[in-house]
Amino acid sequence: MAPVLTAYPQVTATLVLLLSMLSYAAGVKLLVVPVDGGCWLSMWEVLDSLRQKGHEIVVVAPFSNIHIKPSENFFMKMYPIPFIKKEVDGSIHSFSQDVFEEGSFLERFLKVHQRLKSISAITLSTCAHFLYNKELVRYLEESKFNVVLTDPVLPCGQILAEHLSVPSVFFLRGAPCGLDFETTQCPSPPSYVPRVFTELTDRMNFLQRVKNLIFDIRNYFLCDCVFQPYAKLTSEFLQWHVTVLDLLRQASIWLMRLDFTLDYPRPLMPNIIAIGGVNCVHKKLTQVGHALFLILALIDFCIYKGGILYCR
């Protein structure tokens, strides 16, 4: 056997690589730091599949939350926060109402800004109580996780990943204020990429581009309100100066819940993977549905996604 390995160095290298990967075949230890709400509902389906493949999963969440509940698919570690569930739930619902409320641009901006300050105070306090829970953090340090799965809409999970020196994977629909574009250095010129809530398309006249730019400027104020306190918390906890952008740039993989059939096409970096289908319910088409789908696909008129037919 030895002469064969000596004569074929490529075979030797391949065998060494395969043997080194055997330790990962039995499954990895995954630490999950989720964001409550709809973000968690999508992530839960992914965790269910990962558990079936033999991976060990630990989810960390506050006692006062809306949707994050214990499950047989993962081990849950909870920590106390100085808020009751009613406060957290009420703050989120009030923000949702303000975002979709009608009114002038200035009125909506001021309402959203005020609500964001309120929500940011709750989420920042929750993150601080998590990071400075010495018993919980000691347990996480001793557990030797292989990777951290989190949603960067709140950077608490990434702060912990940096503290543990563990690779991080982001699972998100999109980051506030276009931080996903800026952090990953994906082009996003306001002349071509419509901003959220503008009701614009990628084809805009001059006045529409001005409107899109104004909405983009608004995002800088909102982002400063939400994320600037996290920069201070991060620097204090990690004991070195770091910005939120610097923090988010450390992510190894971005799992974006995007689908180019429903979202505007955009350039993606190699570490960004579009997984829009994770939110789609898998349904079988009837024979009639199959026939209709094939006919429409031939004329490039409609697409079938998640059990729903979308036509142009």
Q: Which of 29-38, 89-98, 132-141, 256-265 has the highest mean pLDDT?
A: 132-141
Residue 278, phi then psi, degrees to nearest 5: -65, -25
Is the per-residue pLDDT at 3 higher than 70? no
Same-domain status, 228 and 93: yes
Taking the CA of residue 227 as centre, how many other CA atoms within 13 Å lie in the half-sphere pointing to its CB? 23
Judgement on whether residues 213 and 83 belong to the same structural domain of the protein: yes
Same domain, 183 and 297: no
Clarify whether residues 169 and 272 are in a common domain.
yes
Please write the tens of the pLDDT for every residue from 90-120: 555 555 555 556 666 666 666 666 667 777 7
Beta-carbon count within 10 A of 35 CB: 21
Q: Is the pLDDT of residue 140 over 90?
A: yes
pLDDT computed for residue 55 by the predictor: 87
Strands annotated E in the chain: 29-33, 56-62, 75-79, 147-150, 168-172, 253-256, 272-274, 302-305, 308-311
The residue among 92 and 296 whose pLDDT is bigger is: 92
Q: Please check whether residues 160 and 287 belong to one and the same domain.
A: no
Does any domain span residue 305? yes
Residues 242, 105 share a domain: yes
> Could you tell me if residue 20 is inside a domain?
no
- Residue 131 CB neighbour total at 10 angstroms: 20
CA 295 to each of CA 290, 291, 298, 302, 312: distance values in angstroms, whole numbers, following the listed order: 9, 6, 5, 9, 15
Q: What is the mean pLDDT of residues 281-299?
A: 47
Residues 136 and 151 in one domain: yes
Could you list the residue range(s) of the whole structural domain that residue 305 is in?
282-312
Give the total number of structural domains in the chain: 2
**In this structure, are residues 159 and 127 in contact, taking their beta carbons and an 8 Å threshold?**
yes
Evaluate whether residue 242 is within a structural domain: yes
Whether 233 and 302 share a structural domain: no
Q: What is the mean pLDDT of the chain?
A: 76
CA–CA gap between residue 251 and residue 273 (Å, rounded): 13
pTM recorded for the entire structure: 0.75
Does residue 303 carry a pLDDT above 70? no
275 & 289 share domain? no
Q: Is residue 4 part of a domain?
A: no
Instruction: Identify any residues that bridge with 273 across adjacent strands, giving them in sequence order.
Output: 255
Instruction: Determine the pLDDT at residue 80.
Output: 92
Helix axes 105-131, 206-238, angle to 10 degrees: 20
Are 274 and 289 members of one domain? no
Contact 202, 192 (CB under 8 A): yes
Residue at 189 is within a domain: yes
On whether both 260 and 145 belong to a single domain, the answer is: yes
Residue 15 included in any domain: no
Domain co-membership, 250 together with 307: no
pLDDT digits (tens, 9 = 90+) for 145-174: 999 999 998 899 999 999 999 999 999 887
Is 239 within the bounds of a domain?
yes
* Beta-carbon contacts of residue 222 (< 8 Å; ≥ 6 apart): 112, 113, 116, 176, 177
